[in-house]
């Protein structure tokens, strides 16, 4: 039997490209989140998040080929992430996810993961 990865089931690279692009459009306009991003150009950050999510969900492993082990908790230490930052991050992700209109079961799997991951990266609790 052919095993279909989650990555393939949601539509492959194109789906993650749309999700993360829409997400960063939200970040670009967000007065709380935008100042956290060190680079003026959000393009490279967009690419890193896209490649990470693609790898996480069973697509090509380009993220680790370029960046090594994800170590997300460690990589977020330089940024002060409180519950307000977490909620803002999730709000833009929710908007981006809604626009994809994925089948409900897949949408729920992706959302549950993003919520869990965002909670785990809070490093400056109230």
Residues lying near ligand HEM in the complex (CB under 6 A) are found at 33, 36-37, 39, 45, 48-49, 52, 67, 72, 75-76, 79, 81, 85-86, 89, 114, 117-118, 121
Q: How far is the CB of 9 from ligand HEM (least distance, A)?
A: 18
Q: How many whole angstroms separate alpha carbon 75 and alpha carbon 98?
A: 27
Q: How far is the CB of 101 from ligand HEM (least distance, A)?
A: 21
Q: What's the burial of 94, exposed, middle or buried (CB within 10 Å: 0-12/13-18/19+)?
A: middle
Nearer to ligand HEM by Cβ, of 36 and 106: the residue is 36
Nearer to ligand HEM by Cβ, of 1 and 69: the residue is 69
Q: How far is the CB of 2 from ligand HEM (least distance, A)?
A: 27
Nearer to ligand HEM by Cβ, of 38 and 103: the residue is 38
Nearer to ligand HEM by Cβ, of 19 and 81: the residue is 81
Q: How far is the CB of 59 from ligand HEM (least distance, A)?
A: 14
């Amino acid at each position: 039997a052919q095993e279909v990865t989650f990555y393939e089931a949601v539509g492959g690279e194109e789906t993650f490209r749309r999700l993360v692009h829409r997400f960063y459009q939200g970040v670009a306009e967000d007065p709380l989140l935008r100042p956290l991003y060190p680079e003026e150009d959000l393009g490279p950050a967009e690419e890193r998040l896209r490649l990470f999510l693609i790898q996480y969900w069973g697509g090509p492993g380009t993220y680790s080929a370029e960046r090594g082990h994800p170590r997300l908790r460690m990589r977020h230490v330089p940024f002060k992430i409180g519950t307000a930052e977490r909620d803002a991050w999730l709000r833009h992700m929710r908007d981006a996810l809604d626009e994809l209109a994925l089948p409900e079961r897949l949408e729920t799997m992706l959302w549950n993961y993003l919520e869990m991951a965002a909670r785990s990266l809070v490093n400056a609790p109230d």
